[in-house]
Chain A
Amino acid sequence: AQSVTQLGSHVSVSEGALVLLRCNYSSSVPPYLFWYVQYPNQGLQLLLKYTTGATLVKGINGFEAEFKKSETSFHLTKPSAHMSDAAEYFCAVSEGASGGGADGLTFGKGTHLIIQP
């Protein structure tokens, strides 16, 4: 069975500061990993994904994440936070060969990112 743990239900950073959202996973097979963002009253939007290949993955809006197999982690970072980054962020894992979630994504509980002016 697969699972995802997001450390910290709320993370607060100052505008311009580094953003670090933590995600650890467990999976019995090589995982496919995703970060989704949810802005207020909107659906989930894909930020980035890791399937195979390069372990440092770049996504939209300046976010990136690094897959570290030895640490079973897929932390999300952004060098400089912007007010518009305030949202809920979800890490997700899929064990399916699809790499896209056809077999069902397992989500973490989410981390609410707060940006202080």
Chain B
Amino acid sequence: EPEVTQTPSHQVTQMGQEVILRCVPISNHLYFYWYRQILGQKVEFLVSFYNNEISEKSEIFDDQFSVERPDGSNFTLKIRSTKLEDSAMYFCASGPSYNSPLHFGNGTRLTVT
């Protein structure tokens, strides 16, 4: 069964550095998402992306965050200047249509030191 793939599984970075989290959604999917889960807290919606533009974004998704689909297969989340509070598990998800459940990747654990 096709899967959403996220790399790396764990990334450690220093505060103030830029990080790019990578995701390969399922190939025929059109809707893409990022969620995050701070340790011990709930999974939170960050952003949804369709037709090469952001569809929805949450209050968390401020100017330090950006998303991109640089080619036909990758979907990336960039954090420009990381803060300690950005430490979390980041989940990528995709869906084939507007009215479909999401398929999640295994997540990237980001640790900001």
Contacts and interface: CB of A to CB of B under 8 A. Distances in A.
Main secondary structure of the interface of A (DSSP, over half): loop
B103 to A, nearest CB: 8
Given A104-B48, A107-B44, A49 B101 contact: yes
A43 B31 contact: no
Given A43-B105, A110-B43, 5 more contacts: A44-B43, A46-B102, A98-B100, A100-B102, A105-B102
Interface of A: 4, 34, 36, 41-46, 49, 90, 92, 97-110
B88 to A, nearest CB: 13
B23 to A, nearest CB: 11
Contacts of A36: 104
Contacts, number: 74
Interface stretch (B13-21, B65-73, B75-83, B91-99): B91-99
Main secondary structure of the interface of B (DSSP, over half): strand
B98 A102 contact: yes
Q: Which of B56, B98, B101, B103 has the most CB of A within 10 A?
A: B101
A56 B9 CA distance: 37
Contacts of A98: 98-100
Contacts of B4: 43
Given A98-B98, A109-B41, A104 B105 contact: no
B107 A43 contact: yes
A112 B84 CA distance: 26
A41 to B, nearest CB: 7
A100 B99 CA distance: 5
Contacts of B103: 46
A110 B42 contact: yes
B96 to A, nearest CB: 9
A33 to B, nearest CB: 11
